[in-house]
Amino acid sequence: MISRYLNGDLSRTEQEKLVNWIKDSPKNQRLFFELKDVWDASHEGSNEKVNEQLLKFYRKQATQKRTKSISSWKSVIAVAAILVFGLVIGSVMQIQFGQDNSQLESFYVPKGSRSEVTLADGTKVNLNSNSYLKFDTHFSKNNRIVHLEGEAYFEVKSDKNHPFTVQTNNFDIVVTGTKFNVSNYDDDQLIGATLAEGKIELFTDDHQQFEIKPGEKISLDRKTNHYELNEADVKSETAWINSEFIFKEIPFPDLIKRLERWYDVQISYSSNEFNEMVYSGSFKNQETIWQVLDALKLTTPIDYEKISFRKFKLNYKPM
Amino acid sequence: MSDFDHIFRKYHNLLYLYANKFVRNESISLDIVQDVFASIWEKGKLELHDEHLKAYLFNAVKNSCFNYLKHERVVQDHQQRNIERIMQLEQKYYKSGEQSLIEKENLDKIYKAINALSVINREVIELSRFEGLKNKEIAKKLKLPVRTVETRLFRALSELKEKLSKNNLRILLNICVLIKS
């Protein structure tokens, strides 16, 4: 009757009988549950199922995370900590444009390096990979306007009478003396500014005006053309200055773009599976791109191959 | 995090079997296990010592299953009353501190024990558990009376039970010997 209960059809009267038999004595009960336990335990498990479930788990975590607020970032996928790549100081390429009167001076930091510039007014600018900082040759203590493409961290020399302006293609930032980070790579969907100290004002193309307080971040979604003011983790936003790479809940495509700029490589991927994933993690200091990709491999269902010099391809590969 | 992968791979099948033991529904069991893994992911329980982590995982799965059954019970019809009574008894049994083999053993040991069964007993276990055939179907396939299949299955389970619990005893004995020496 027990084996019929476990693997067959038990009629109602038989069921009744079984229940009574089990209830009859603790000994019966023990025997029955031990046998059922053996039955329950002797089931074939497949690795395929585990892999499938693990992937499902990661997907679920990724999509859930996207909807959570910034403050709930405790579930870090601490990716890895590796060695120093070497900050390429002095790799700033100074380009002089034109011979006419309105001369423009431009600093360009190539992919794979970062640099620091001190302007004539004493303002310090850290420039991230693949960024341009341009300003008029007339830039001076009294005329403080720069144009930025890419990412930079400004420590603006305080001067209340002469505001410092950072122009970008989408907005202007006006400050007197503050520390803030601006990111506006033209291939990023989300661009914006994060304030560490002081106060900044932001004037948009379409005549909106925002005031940003320390610890806040304003971002523009270029797809929807919508601005949003949020609490920010200044430390992780500006970690790149110290050659650290901290990222919080950023979409996979953005992560790839950052890696490309950071390491001066090209990374291609085709699968749509990647797009729904959101990443958090930190690379303490400049691992090689190989190490970063290996770390990614551990946390996500990917595999990579090197196609040619500085070119990688990611493939979707369920774990 | 490879740690997490490792834990997931190590415990997933066991936890799934454990959940399925109670809720008897594959997809619900899988969901329960997913949620429990999400809880250790979020709460940072990964740093727990492996033994504690294991205990936590099994407990969490058990509680989720019992919770699920509590809510499910209301919906069940009278047809199911007897089966439900058995399930309630089973819950009581495990709430009293009894441990399942799934919790105590690793799957390899269980498979080994199955392999060590006599051929005729192993056959019915494999057909029923690995291939999912019902007793009637096994009987047809082996050209045996259903009754015989049922007896063999019962014997196979009893034998397995003996083997697996004996194993435990031997481990205990070994520990005693170690302590003495």
| ipTM > 0.85 (yes/no) | no
Q: What kind and span of H or E run contains B121?
A: helix B119-125
Percent of chain A's residues with pLDDT above 90: 4
Residue in A278, A296, A282, A224 with CA at minimum distance from that of residue A67? A278
**Mean pLDDT of the residues in chain B:** 78
DSSP label of A134:
E
| Angle between helix A26-41 and B81-95 (nearest 10) | 90
Residue in A211, A212, A152 with CA at minimum distance from that of residue A182? A152
Q: Tell me if chain B has a CB within 8 Å of the CB of A55.
A: no
Instruction: Name the more confident of B118 and B170.
Output: B118
Residue in A216, A225, A170, A175 with CA at minimum distance from that of residue A193? A216
Angle, CA A296 vertex, CA B32 and CA B54 arms, to 5°: 35
Q: What confidence score (pLDDT) does residue A233 get?
A: 80
Contacts of B41 in chain A (CB under 8 A): 61, 75
Q: Enumerate residues 69 to 88 of chain B having a beta carbon within 8 A of any beta carbon in chain A.
A: 79, 82-83, 85-86
Percent of chain B's residues with pLDDT above 90: 2
Q: What confidence score (pLDDT) does residue A152 get?
A: 93
Which residue segment(s) compose the domain that B163 sits in?
Answer: 107-180
Segment B124-134 mean pLDDT: 82
Is A309 a residue whose pLDDT tops 50? yes
Q: What confidence score (pLDDT) does residue A86 get?
A: 25
Query: Do B90 and B113 share a domain, yes or no?
Result: no
Query: Do B24 and B64 share a domain, yes or no?
Result: yes
Residue in A118, A59, A66 with CA at minimum distance from that of residue A92? A118
Give the number of residues written for chain B: 181
Query: Do B114 and B67 share a domain, yes or no?
Result: no
Query: Do B95 and B6 share a domain, yes or no?
Result: yes
Least confident of A46-50, A66-70, A188-192, A196-200: A66-70
Query: How many other β-carbons are positioned within 10 Å of the β-carbon of residue A208?
Result: 10
- How many Å apart are CA B153 and CA B147, to the nearest integer? 10
- How many Å apart are CA A254 and CA A260, to the nearest integer? 10
Query: Do B111 and B95 share a domain, yes or no?
Result: no
Q: What confidence score (pLDDT) does residue A94 get?
A: 38
- The residue behind tokens 């193309």 is A205
Query: Do B49 and B138 share a domain, yes or no?
Result: no
Q: What confidence score (pLDDT) does residue A142 get?
A: 82
Q: What confidence score (pLDDT) does residue A284 get?
A: 63
Look up the CATH number of domain A87-242: 2.60.120.1440
Query: Do B63 and B121 share a domain, yes or no?
Result: no
Query: Do B90 and B122 share a domain, yes or no?
Result: no
Query: B32 to each of A202, B61, B67, B71, B116, how far by Cα in Å?
Result: 48, 7, 11, 14, 33
Q: How many domains does chain B have?
A: 2
Angle, CA B143 vertex, CA B141 and CA B144 arms, to 5°: 115
Query: CATH number, domain at B118?
Result: 1.10.10.10
Q: Tell me if chain B has a CB within 8 Å of the CB of A319.
A: yes
**Mean pLDDT of the residues in chain A:** 75
Q: What confidence score (pLDDT) does residue B79 get?
A: 56
User: Which one is the CATH code of A46-85+243-319: 3.55.50.30, 3.40.718.10, 3.30.1330.40, 3.40.50.880?
Assistant: 3.55.50.30
Segment A54-65 mean pLDDT: 69
